[in-house]
């Protein structure tokens, strides 16, 4: 089983390194991320759940690690994440089942850390 909290931490370290290597691109990405996730017509939790659903359907492990973490930090419950997995399966089929399982594993791992 993957360790999503470790993956989250490692990706954060590498994103910092990328920020030093390509600062303008990473600053632009960071600004886009912040602008996209900030509360507007949709709250941040809803936006993180949407990002998680997309992460599952495009099969991005690192994205799952980030968006489960950030959805939980924004107040998403295990049930809300499970329903997000359900919609991702609708849109992504069988492969989304496998990545949806990973999202639920990530929830459990983050819960063990007290998130």
Q: What is the CATH number of the domain that holds 19?
A: 1.20.1290.10
What is the C-alpha to C-alpha distance for residues 5 and 2, in angstroms, rounded to an integer? 9
Close Cβ partners of 93 (under 8 Å, ≥ 6 residues apart):
none
Q: What percent of the chain has pLDDT above 70?
A: 100
Contact by Cβ (8 Å): 85, 104: yes
Here the tokens at position 35 are 């602008």
Q: Confidence band (pLDDT; 50, 70, 90) for 32? A: very high
What confidence tens digit (pLDDT) does each residue in 62-89 have? 999 999 999 999 999 999 999 999 999 9
Structural domain tally of the chain?
Answer: 1
Of 21, 111, 95, 24, which is closest to residue 60 (Cα–Cα)? 95
Could you tell me the residue range of the domain that residue 65 belongs to? 4-112
**pLDDT over 90 at 54, yes or no:** yes
């Amino acid at each position: 089983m993957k360790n999503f909290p470790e993956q989250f931490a490692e990706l954060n370290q590498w994103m910092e390194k990328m920020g030093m290597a390509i600062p303008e691109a990473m600053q632009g990405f960071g600004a886009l991320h912040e602008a996209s996730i900030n509360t507007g017509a949709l709250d941040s939790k809803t936006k993180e759940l949407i990002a998680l659903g997309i992460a599952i359907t495009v099969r991005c492990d690192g994205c799952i690690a980030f968006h489960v973490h950030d959805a939980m930090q924004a107040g998403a419950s295990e049930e809300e994440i499970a329903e997000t997995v359900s919609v991702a399966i609708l849109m992504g089929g069988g492969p989304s089942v496998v990545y949806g399982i990973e999202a639920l594993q990530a929830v459990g791992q983050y819960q063990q850390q007290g998130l």
